[in-house]
Each structure stands twice: as C-alpha cells, then as structure tokens.
Structure 1
C-alpha cells in the first residue's frame, strides 16, 4: 500500500504547526494528497442558560470560532504551499468531538497524523486522543510529539518487534516508509523464548521479510531487567539518530495497560520522535 492519502488532525494547540509540517513533508515525499481536518467542538450549555444568552455573547462565540478556524487554515495553507501540495490538498472543518470526527474521516485515508497529548494542555478543550483513535479509525496513526520540530521523518527508522499481530500490522502499514528509508533497525527487547517466542535470532525473520522488499535493514535485540523496555527503545532512538519509531499498539487490553502499564501507554507519554502505530 502506498501512502497516497494522508489526513492530519489540526487543533489550536501550539504543537499544531509542527504536526502539519510533518504531515505535509511526508505527503510530498510520497507524492500523496493531504487533507487537513479541523474539528470544532460546539459549546454545550444547559437549556435554561442557552435561552438567556445575550445575542452579543453568541456573536462573540461565533467570532472566536471563526478567528481560530482561520488561524488553523492559514497554518495548513502555508505548509501545503511550502511543500508544493496546493493542488493535492483539502481543508475540512467539522463540528463534533475531535476523536469521533478524526475516526470517521480517517477511515478514508492511508494514515492519520495526530498529535501526542500535552499533559499540560487545557483539559476543557477536547482534542483527538491517539489512545482512542488507534482503536476507532481502523488506520495506522502517525503520532507527532507535542514538543519539537521534525524536518525529516522516515530516513532512519527503529522498528519495535515482539512478534505480535499488532507489530506485524504496524510493519505492513509502514512498508512504504521502510522501503524508502536509508536505514531500518529492528529491535526486540526482552524477547520471549520457546515455541511461542520469536526465534533463536530475535528479529531475524522480520528483517529477512523486510530485506525482500528492498529495505536496508538490520536486526538486534537486548535482554535487560535494569532498564524499562520503553526507555531501552528511546535510548536506541537517540543512539541511532532515528527519526521514526514503528510499533504495534495495545497488544493487551487498554484496561490492563492503564492498570499495569505497557509499552503503548509509555510511548504515548514519553515519545521523543514521531511514532507510527497500528492496532
């Protein structure tokens, strides 16, 4: 599958500009089409308050929404123009909850570009949450960190491999990026042994599969009980100067991850580079 149709979820956060830029440069690399989706959350008030709301206040609300929408559209239009995508772009404004809107429209895209949730954000302003969207949209997510800029995505890629269905799905979804990458490193952290494990040479099988697609790939693994597996991956990202991490999402239930912790939750909280994840 080629990445010919990208959807980027745009919001009012400070991180939106870097996210749009990341999506636009990926669309330009893949000669794809990019759609910017700006969900507007209607202000919901109790009926008795709504009935008494002065017309001046309603006008102020409309004016604020129009102003924020125009700012977001300008960011999108600028990124599209700089990346030569003016004739391969679309801007959509949709009223509704951001996660629901992104899930619906994301089903008609090859990949959905969404932002990591900033823990310091205004909780009264809903955003599209990747931990919900990865279940709802049925498409891979490219989650862009809320801090930093990412001028290059997919040149040096780390694949987190554990032999799971979710990891296999992520590798397949990322194949157009992996085949074009300058270097791909497959890493297994604390790989399982035995018949249900991933072999005597962890990562070798998936590396062979990737090499048959023309990927410049190598496999490695590490066994440690001194460092959290998530930190091990992020350390490797830094050591290898990777600009993208590919991984499966929620190999066990979301409830178990919330209670016990897990790799997906850890990465959504601590990512330092964009993460392409699939469920």
Structure 2
C-alpha cells in the first residue's frame, strides 16, 4: 500500500518551502503524483473600498500577492522537474478552507502546516489545520512551524485508545507504518485499565506485523487529563526520537474538546514533530 496522490498546501508563509520539500521527499519515496495547492487568506475588497484611503493599499496588496504566487509557482514547477515527479499546480479561488478540503478528498494524503502565530502570512483561517482534518475524509499530515525534519516516518509513534478515530488513523498511516524502521503503540495506563484495552494493543501489534511492520512494541504512560495526555505524547515522542505521530482526531465530542481542551487541540497547538491525523 502506498500513497499515489499527494496534495501539499502552499501559501506565502515562511514554512511553505519546508512543506514543499517534505512533500517532494514523500512523492519520490512512493512514486506519487504531487499537487501543489496555493490557497491563502484574502481580505474582502469591499471592506477596503468603503474605507477612505484604503483602496490603494488593497491594490498594492493584490499586486504583491500575485508576485508571491508567481514565485512559488515557478519554484514548484522547478522542483518537480528537478525531482522528476509528476504533478500539477492549482491556484484556489474563493474560500481556502473549501478549496483545500475538496482537493483533499481526491488525495491519498494531504500536507498542511501548523499555524504560526508569529507569521501573519501563515494565517489562512481560524483553526485551519483542524478544520481540514475534520473535513478531509482521509489522512492529513500536519507539519510543525518550527524544526527541520530530515526523516518522516522512520520511527512512528501511534497514539492508541481503541477508538474508531485511532483505528482510522492507523489504517490511513499504513504506508508509513509498513516502511518504518520502528513502530511504537502508545496507550494510557492506570489502575482502571481493562484487560480488553491490553488485548487491543496486542491485537493491533499483531495486525501491523501481518501488514509488514518489522519492529513493533507497546508503551504505556499514566492517564491524565485530556490536555495532559497530549503533552505526555509529545514528551514521549521527543524522548524516543520519533519522527511521526499517528493519531485519531477528536475521539470525544468536538464541542467538548473545543471548550475544555483535549489531546487533539493540545497536539495541534504545541506539536514538535509531524503528525498524521484522521477523523
């Protein structure tokens, strides 16, 4: 099983080149077609036209954005040619959320970036990454806004809680898992851990081995509050030098997690390694 159609979201942010480099590396590894989808936040021009003295500013902004888009498009085509990868450039019009979501549904894997609050160009929409994860219908690889990742998927950490979302993420990540040098199934433990939970981890490890995963182990850490669980996962990933975290998104009610926090939001806000999420 391999990913044969990849989509990478591109914009004018500082990390767009890093996302493109990662997408190219994954496309080369799997012999995939790569779509570069350019989608950015665009202010409503009517808001400028009704404010005195702002029309010239909007026109200057529009011209600059067109120049930036042209530069990224040229870079995309040049990198495709250099890597000898098939692909296509797509410039979205209108709502960027709708554009990325729709394209993701015709892709095996969609690559987006974590929002960097210190880079205004990284803002696409409120909760951009998590909205794409929820609407994609398939796996979304979220890349942190800091750090350089020489490898992705050599050491895979699976966040496992036996939920439908976690199972969906594991199956969606199978191309990474079967090629990984090492895979760890991480689950919470505690005095109330059931025999069924322990058996679930063992069953999952056996299934992955049958799929071709060559080195799989099981790790347990203390159960805490949902946000603490996210922090514990990231700490474990850093200590173990993992380069990919696989997890289901919003295993609990999304409204509950949005209000109270939760592992999904904790990971998206404070991630330190690439995370493959599915819902």
1:169 aligned residue: 168
How far has the Cα of 1:116 moved from its partner? 0.6
Q: CA deviation at 1:31?
A: 0.8
Matched residue, 1:221: 220
Check conservation: 2:244, 2:273, Cα contact below 8 A.
Answer: yes
Q: Which runs of 5+ in 2 are unaligned?
A: none
CA separation of 1:224/1:138 partners in 2, compared to 1, >3 Å: closer, same or farther?
closer
Q: List, as ranges, runs of 4+ consecutive aligned residues in structure 1 with deviation greater than 4 Å.
A: 50-59, 224-227
Show structure 1 runs of 5+ residues with no match: none
Residue of structure 2 in register with 1:132 after alignment: 131
C-alpha distance after superposition, 1:44-80 (max 9, x if no partner)? 2338927999997675344222201012223423443
Number of aligned positions between the proteins: 275
Q: Is this contact kept in 2: 1:11–1:38, CA < 8 A?
A: yes
* TM-superposed deviation, 1:40: 4.6
Residue in structure 2 matched with residue 160 of structure 1 by the alignment? 159
| Counterpart position of 2:23 | 23
Cα separation, partners in 2 of 1:21 and 1:136, compared to 1, 3 Å: same
Distance 1:117 1:152, change over 3 A: same
Match of 1:266 in 2: 266
- Encode CA deviations 1:193-227: one digit per residue, 9 max, x unaligned: 337x513x562111111011110211121225599
How far 1:81 sits from its partner (Å)?
3.9
Alignment match, 1:121 = 119
8 Å Cα contact 2:117-2:123 kept in structure 1: no
Is 1:7–1:35's contact at 8 Å kept on the other side of the alignment?
A: yes
As a proportion of its length, which structure holds more helix?
Answer: 2
Q: Is the 8 A contact 1:203 1:220 kept in 2?
A: no
Aligned-residue CA RMSD in angstroms?
2.7
- 1:108 counterpart residue number: 106
- Separation in structure 1 between the aligned mates of residue 254 and residue 117 of structure 2, nearest angstrom: 19
1:43 deviates by 3.9
1:259 deviates by 1.6
Distance 1:202 1:73, change over 3 A: same
CA–CA separation in structure 1 for the residues paired with 2:2 and 2:92: 27
> What is the alpha-carbon distance in structure 1 between the residues aligned to residue 158 and residue 218 of structure 2?
9
Q: How does 1:1-279 map to 2 (within 5 A)?
A: 1-46=1-46, 49=49, 60-85=60-85, 88-122=86-120, 125-127=123-125, 129-190=128-189, 193-194=193-194, 197-199=196-198, 203-216=201-214, 217-225=216-224, 228-279=228-279
* CA gap 1:40/1:188 in 2 versus in 1, 3 angstroms: closer
Query: How high is the TM-score relative to the length of structure 2?
Result: 0.88
User: How far did residue 148 of structure 1 move?
Assistant: 1.5
1:10-57 CA deviation, whole Å, 9 max, x = no partner? Answer: 011111111111111111111111000002544423389279999976
